Amino acid sequence: MRTLLCKSGNGTEFKVIIPDNTIVTFAPAIPPNSNDRFSGEREYALRIYKEPKKESNLLAVFTNIRSFRDVDQIEIQTLVVRERGKSLWKSDEKGYKVENTLQRESKFTDELNLLEGEVEEETDNEE
């Protein structure tokens, strides 16, 4: 089995799990003819066929697809940057002083979640 991660035109991401013996194509949903002078945004489709590729072996058509990838064969890593900081304002009879601290951590990760070892902190809103 193979897993395809697809992104649609409205930003929705979904996974499609397909058998190993399938052929995947990505092309305009309605192929242009030779006289087509289409100017604008074309809608694309992801088609999945059983081998051999022929119309009678078409398993699925997904339209309005912007991108896809085989997650079992292609790994993508994203740079995630986490910044933490605080500003401390101190005031006295001479005025005020601001102390800023900033920590920056960046890491390439294949999951868009928290950086390794980081735990989401609960905030206490005591009033």
What is the distance between the alpha carbons of residues 119 and 84, in angstroms, rounded to a whole number?
A: 13
Give this prediction's pTM: 0.58
- Is the alpha carbon torsion for 27, 44, 67, 49 positive or negative? negative
Question: Taking 50 as the threshold, does the pLDDT of residue 123 lie above it?
Answer: no
- Is the alpha carbon torsion for 60, 54, 73, 10 positive or negative? negative
pLDDT value of residue 93? 84
Q: Could you report the per-residue pLDDT of 54-105, keeping only the tens digit for each?
A: 888 899 999 999 999 998 888 888 888 888 998 888 888 888 888 888 898 8
Q: Could you report the per-residue pLDDT of 1-39, keeping only the tens digit for each?
A: 999 999 998 889 999 999 988 999 998 887 766 666 665
Q: Give φ, ψ of 51 to 5 degrees.
A: -75, 145
Distances in Å between the Cα of 119 and the Cα atoms of 113, 114, 116, 122 are 11, 7, 9, 9
Q: Find where tokens 């309605």 sit.
A: 30
| Better-scored residue on pLDDT, 38 or 119 | 38
Question: Taking 60 as the threshold, does the pLDDT of residue 126 lie above it?
Answer: no
